[in-house]
């Protein structure tokens, strides 16, 4: 029996104006943006709808902005009666998945990722950490490269294992540069520095993880009503205590996205619906397995098109 997974994007998918048209047409969608403004006591909705882009891109703004937009779009889409058997999200998107699964309330999710963004931003002095995408090199040889550089005193590690041939490394600026050079020597096609404000998903984020634990301990985390595929294990989890532990680990551990997609496919998922701005995850999923169906829902037009396509398949 075929199964459906809802997947939620992380940082990098944001865009000024995301969700605006849907919110202007549907008051219940707008309610989410209003709730986010009230929860954070800032005009987040104005920033999402009007920018400026430079401010929206700041980590502590991007994270609640993406969660708010994705959940607002999800609420509209769910009215069509389509539900998921599993949910997953890439990094920040895991929090959106937890709200979608009923483990976190929307307001607590928005507040948690705002604080998460602040902690991540402040964990390492600006300019001292970096990240880079390594293209065309498998996990094992790249892992050996990062271990060698790390062991020589320059912190660097695998951060996002996105799909075959696309892995992000993270660490100190010198560690990432050294590992990038060595990766090219052993066969990487390209190494692309990423425009980020810190070395996310690396052990350098452990100070942020300690602070995040305090915030998550203050939330009313519930057991998930839909299994959530955890970034750090690529396994389904649903108990509140395990979810909390995995969110802490996620800050300083690799995001196993490729493994998560493979796990969902092994569990019977053949349809992935990306909910939120952009189509980044749909592209990664297709690189993991070309045979699965992927859809993207970012506005009313794409939501209706996906509903029509799924109903057509049922006939």
Residue 303: which residues within 8 A CB-CB, separation 6 or more? 73, 76, 77, 80, 297
Could you say which of 13, 70, 91, 202 is catalytic? 91
Query: Is 26 part of the annotated catalytic residue set?
Result: no
Any idea what DSSP says for residue 125? -
Any idea what DSSP says for residue 59? H
How far is the C-alpha of 106 from the C-alpha of 259, rounded, in Å?
27
Beta strands in 232-288 (DSSP E): 236-237, 269-275
* Selection from 108, 117, 106, 24 nearest residue 70 by Cα: 106
Question: How many C-beta neighbours within 10 Å does residue 140 have?
Answer: 8
Helices 59-78, 93-100: axis angle to 10 degrees equals 30
How far is the C-alpha of 80 from the C-alpha of 107, rounded, in Å?
24
Query: Is 91 part of the annotated catalytic residue set?
Result: yes
Could you say which of 70, 170, 197, 201 is catalytic? 201
How far is the C-alpha of 235 from the C-alpha of 264, rounded, in Å?
9
Any idea what DSSP says for residue 130? E
CB 92 within 8 A of CB 66: yes
CA angle (123 as vertex; 277, 43 as ends), nearest 5: 45
How far is the C-alpha of 252 from the C-alpha of 199, rounded, in Å?
9
Annotated catalytic residues are 91, 201
């Amino acid at each position: 029996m075929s199964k459906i997974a809802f997947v939620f994007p992380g940082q990098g998918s944001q865009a000024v104006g995301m969700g605006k048209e849907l919110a202007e047409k549907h008051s219940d969608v707008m309610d989410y943006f209003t709730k986010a403004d009230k929860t954070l006591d800032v005009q987040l909705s104005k920033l999402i709808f009007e920018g400026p882009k430079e401010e929206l891109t700041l980590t502590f703004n991007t994270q609640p902005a993406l969660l708010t937009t994705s959940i607002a779009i999800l609420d509209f889409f769910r009215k069509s009666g389509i539900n998921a058997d599993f949910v997953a999200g890439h990094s920040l998107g895991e929090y959106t998945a937890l709200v979608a699964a009923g483990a976190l309330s929307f307001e607590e999710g928005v507040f948690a990722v705002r604080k998460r963004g602040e902690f991540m931003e402040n964990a390492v002095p600006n300019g001292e950490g970096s990240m880079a995408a390594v293209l065309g090199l498998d996990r094992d040889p790249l892992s050996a490269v990062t271990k060698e550089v790390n062991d020589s005193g320059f912190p660097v590690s695998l951060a996002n294992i996105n799909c075959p041939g696309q892995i992000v490394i993270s660490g100190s600026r010198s560690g990432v540069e050294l590992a990038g050079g060595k990766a090219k020597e052993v066969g990487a096609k390209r190494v692309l520095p990423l425009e980020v404000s810190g070395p996310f998903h690396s052990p350098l984020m452990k100070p942020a993880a300690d602070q995040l634990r305090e915030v998550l301990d203050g939330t009313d985390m519930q057991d998930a009503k839909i299994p959530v595929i955890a970034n750090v294990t690529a396994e389904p989890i649903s108990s509140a205590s395990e979810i909390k532990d995995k969110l802490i680990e996620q800050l300083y551990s690799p995001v196993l996205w490729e493994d998560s997609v493979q796990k969902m496919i092994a569990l019977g998922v053949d349809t992935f619906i990306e909910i939120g701005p952009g189509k980044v995850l749909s592209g990664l999923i297709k690189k993991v397995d070309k045979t699965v169906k992927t859809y993207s829902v970012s506005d009313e037009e794409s939501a209706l098109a996906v509903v029509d396509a799924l109903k057509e398949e049922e006939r």
